[in-house]
């Protein structure tokens, strides 16, 4: 379903103005005689055939265009800006405040954008992409948001935006068999509208507001980002239910890639206007999410785009309390959700990448959104007010029913703890490290106790059966709390000679809670993206520490008798299976998750292959350095646990070289049949997913599911295994 038209638009998505309309990319998206010429076809042929010979006139034209965009909209000025200083002193130096006001207004309103024919044509091609399959895209997007609780948009909001775009296209197109000429006209009008800010009446209702902006490139770009994310997140069975014929030929990743290209073109259109708007924040947020789905959270592109979002948030002044004055209640709440979602994403990406955060809590003086669904926020005033009356004095749901916004609120309050943890991790010169870590842990415990008691519980199977959404929220918050402690203990092990016992205990508790979350994920695939994110960001580091400690205990002549070897083997085995089945091939973090899965299975296979020999242990202590390059090397160096806990995901690290140095793999049973005393069962195509337990048994898992079959270890090892 990724058509020639879509591919050609994707090919022309360069954000470089000169190369975007180069002769190499001037092929029209249409192959019939109705095709419009590319932008460069509007130039004299002699100039196009050899731009260099033309004396740089093509280059000079674009330079001239950009020179007219040198005074874009400025955004909100803070208390240290030059305008703030002039405003405060204007009464004392002069009474002619009108000149100052005119100066400020001229800075903020100078948005002269040059719109050429090439941009208009490219815009019409983007509109044509939407027009071709808009109904299918709308069904796909709304179905996805029915399954996933979005940070910013609920399904009713998306329906309003889609309906307004559909109405705009229907009214603009007079000939549905030849829509492009009408779309060129529409594209030109969208450029004109996008160069002006959207005026918001304080008495506006949600429906009026969200249907008032289809003719803006920010909203067109937003739709492409939502469509691209939906193509990757929606379960195939749901896709077939909406359109079996389309789903059978739909190239999900191809469509998402086209949406990325189209979204970046829309962002470039907005950039050219020099105008910063709230709607631009929406599309940048959703575009960042789409980039992580395609390229992974570790890729540079999402990080760079997210930096633009943080810049927009501060430039628009959304971090200040008075930014929500004189706007409707629903929009104030929506703006707070935008801020909190950006803040939460900042902490997640900064932690995942080990980089300084861009948004610091102490510079934000806005209260978080109320603990109510966005459907309730958009409800009629009398309904909305009755729901607000049921909240407690701090804005929390007093009935203990929690949703995604509850998690965002709590993360906003606890975010300062993560900022402190990150600061500690990136500053090697902290004095009295142990006392500082203890202080941070106590502060985290206090801040957590300030949350509603219903958010303290860690969750159980019974809780998930009774209140799945609330249990998921509380469990995710508990995982975040444990992850802070995990990072602190990692720092302590890295920089001091403290033992790793507490770190291993925290890592084990962290992974156990994550496995509980995975087990209780919705069978309908609800919020798949959140699950993949938490597996990648929290599961991989904790599993890495446990796997390396398992190896260390394995090589030690005097292993710790209190080390929970059997439980850790079982947890790592389950997690390795989840990495294979819960993380789809289309996920941006798929590659890094499969690297981790291979590492865990190699280590499990090595640990379960038998006890180390005394000679090997002697050789280890004789020559530990450089052993990873030795084919006969058996053990992992002792100091790897105290190193970079992401090194185990690096193919070039010593650990991975050691992992790849032996021919170990998970033992697979090729149609292995075993007679059990009480009954006879055939276990076909199974694999060993857990190791020796205290009873000397090995647990068999069949297709990743516990069969309940336990086989004596000595008999299993004597079976005909490859």
The per-residue pLDDT for 83 is 58
Q: What percent of the residues of the chain are helix, what percent strand, and what percent coil, each to the nearest 5?
A: 60, 5, 35
Question: 413 near 482, Cβ under 8 Å?
Answer: no
Model confidence at 30, in pLDDT bands (50, 70, 90)? very low
CB-based contacts of 151-156 (< 8 A; 24+ apart in sequence): 151/285, 151/337, 151/341, 151/344, 151/404, 151/408, 152/282, 152/285, 152/286, 152/334, 152/337, 152/338, 152/341, 153/226, 153/282, 153/374, 154/373, 154/374, 154/375, 154/378, 156/374, 156/375, 156/378
Host H or E run for residue 710: strand 705-712
Determine phi and psi for 403, rounding to 5 degrees: -130, -165
Host H or E run for residue 668: none
d(CA 692, CA 695): 8
Q: Which two tokens stand for residue 295?
A: 């390229």
> Considering the entire predicted model, what is its pTM?
0.77
Q: What is the per-residue DSSP string for 123-177?
A: HHHHHHHHHHTHHHHHHHHHHHHHHS--SS--HHHHHHHHHHHHHHHHHH-S-TT
Q: What is the per-residue DSSP string for 251-264?
A: -HHHHHHHHHHHHH
d(CA 87, CA 21): 45
Please report, for residues 183, 256, 464, 586, 713, the alpha-carbon distance to residue 136 in angstroms, rounded to integers and kept in the order given: 20, 15, 34, 21, 55
| Domain positions in the chain | 4-67, 506-651, 673-717
Model confidence at 89, in pLDDT bands (50, 70, 90)? low
Mean pLDDT for the stretch of residues 313-327: 87
Closest C-alpha to 333, from 141, 154, 550: 154
**Could you count the other beta carbons within 10 Å of the beta carbon of residue 8?**
18
d(CA 651, CA 595): 8
Question: 590-616: per-residue pLDDT in tens?
Answer: 889 998 899 899 899 988 886 655 544
The per-residue pLDDT for 683 is 34
Angle subtended at Cα 314 by Cα 311 and Cα 316, rounded to the nearest 5 degrees: 105
Mean pLDDT for the stretch of residues 107-127: 76
The residue ranking higher by pLDDT, 231 or 653, is 231
Helix axes 278-295, 300-315, angle to 10 degrees: 170
Question: 472-528: per-residue pLDDT in tens?
Answer: 889 999 999 999 999 999 999 988 877 889 999 999 999 999 999 888 875 444 567
> Positive or negative CA dihedral for 26, 28, 31, 33?
negative
């Amino acid at each position: 379903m990724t058509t020639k038209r879509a591919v050609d638009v994707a090919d022309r998505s360069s954000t470089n103005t000169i190369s975007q309309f180069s002769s190499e990319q001037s092929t029209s998206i249409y192959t019939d005689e109705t095709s419009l010429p590319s932008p460069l076809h509007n130039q004299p042929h002699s100039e196009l055939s050899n731009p260099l010979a033309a004396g740089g006139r093509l280059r000079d034209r674009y330079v001239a265009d950009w020179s007219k965009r040198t005074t874009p909209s400025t955004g909100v000025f803070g208390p240290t800006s030059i305008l703030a200083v002039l405003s405060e002193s204007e009464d004392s130096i002069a009474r002619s405040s009108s000149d100052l006001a005119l100066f400020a207004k001229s800075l903020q309103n100078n948005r002269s954008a040059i719109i050429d024919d090439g941009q208009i044509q490219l815009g019409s091609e983007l509109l044509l992409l939407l027009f071709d399959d808009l109904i299918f895209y709308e069904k796909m997007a709304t179905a996805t948001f029915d399954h996933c609780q979005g940070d910013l948009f609920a399904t009713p909001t998306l329906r309003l935006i889609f309906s307004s775009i559909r109405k705009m296209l229907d009214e603009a197109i007079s000939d549905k068999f030849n829509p492009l000429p009408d779309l060129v006209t529409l594209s030109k009008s969208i450029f004109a509208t996008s160069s002006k800010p959207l005026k918001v009446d304080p008495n506006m209702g949600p429906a009026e507001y969200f249907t008032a902006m289809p003719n803006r490139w920010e909203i067109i770009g937003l739709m492409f980002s939502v469509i691209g994310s939906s193509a990757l997140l929606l379960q195939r069975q749901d896709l077939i239910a909406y359109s079996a014929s389309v789903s059978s030929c739909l190239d999900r990743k191809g469509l998402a890639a086209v949406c990325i290209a189209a979204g970046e073109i829309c962002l470039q259109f907005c950039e050219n206007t020099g105008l910063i708007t709230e709607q631009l924040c929406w599309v940048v947020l959703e575009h960042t999410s789409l980039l992580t789905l395609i390229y992974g959270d570790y890729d540079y592109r999402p990080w760079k785009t997210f930096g633009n979002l943080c810049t927009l948030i501060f430039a628009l002044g959304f971090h200040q309390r008075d930014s929500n004055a004189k706007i409707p209640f629903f929009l104030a709440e929506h703006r707070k959700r935008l801020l909190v979602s950006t803040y939460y994403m900042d902490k997640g990406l900064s932690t995942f990448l080990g980089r300084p955060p861009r948004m610091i809590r102490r510079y934000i003086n806005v209260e978080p959104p109320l603990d109510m669904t966005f459907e309730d926020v958009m409800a009629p005033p009398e309904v909305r007010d009755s729901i607000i009356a049921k909240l407690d004095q701090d804005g929390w749901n007093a009935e203990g029913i929690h949703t995604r916004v509850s998690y965002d609120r709590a993360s906003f309050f606890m975010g300062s703890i993560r900022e402190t943890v990150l600061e500690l991790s990136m500053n090697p010169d902290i004095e009295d490290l142990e006392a500082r870590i203890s202080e941070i842990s106590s502060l985290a415990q206090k801040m957590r106790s300030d949350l509603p008691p219903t958010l303290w519980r860690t969750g159980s199977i019974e809780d998930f059966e009774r209140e799945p959404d609330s249990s998921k929220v509380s469990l995710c918050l508990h995982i975040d709390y444990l992850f802070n402690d995990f990072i602190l203990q990692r720092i302590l092990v890295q920089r001091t000679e403290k033992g790793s016992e507490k770190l291993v205990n925290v890592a084990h508790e962290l992974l156990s809670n994550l496995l509980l979350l995975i087990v209780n994920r919705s069978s309908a695939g609800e919020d798949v993206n959140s699950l993949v994110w938490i597996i990648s960001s929290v599961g991989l580091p904790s599993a890495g520490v446990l796997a390396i400690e398992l190896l260390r205990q394995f090589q030690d002549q005097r292993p710790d008798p209190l080390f929970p070897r059997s439980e850790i083997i079982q947890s790592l085995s389950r997690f390795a299976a989840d990495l294979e089945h819960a993380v789809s091939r289309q996920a941006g973090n798929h590659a890094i998750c499969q690297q981790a899965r291979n590492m865990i299975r190699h280590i499990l296979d090595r640990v379960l292959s038998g006890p180390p020999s005394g000679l090997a242990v002697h050789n280890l202590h004789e020559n530990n350095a450089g052993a990873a390059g030795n084919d006969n090397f058996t053990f992992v160096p002792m100091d790897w646990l105290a190193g970079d806990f992401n090194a185990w995901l690096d193919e070039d690290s010593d650990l991975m070289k050691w992992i790849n140095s032996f021919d170990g793999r998970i033992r697979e049973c090729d149609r292995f049949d075993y007679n059990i005393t009480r009954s006879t069962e055939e276990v076909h195509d199974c694999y060993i997913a857990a190791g020796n337990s205290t009873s000397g048994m090995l647990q068999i898992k069949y297709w990743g599911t516990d069969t309940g079959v336990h086989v004596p270890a000595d008999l299993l090892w004597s079976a005909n295994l490859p």
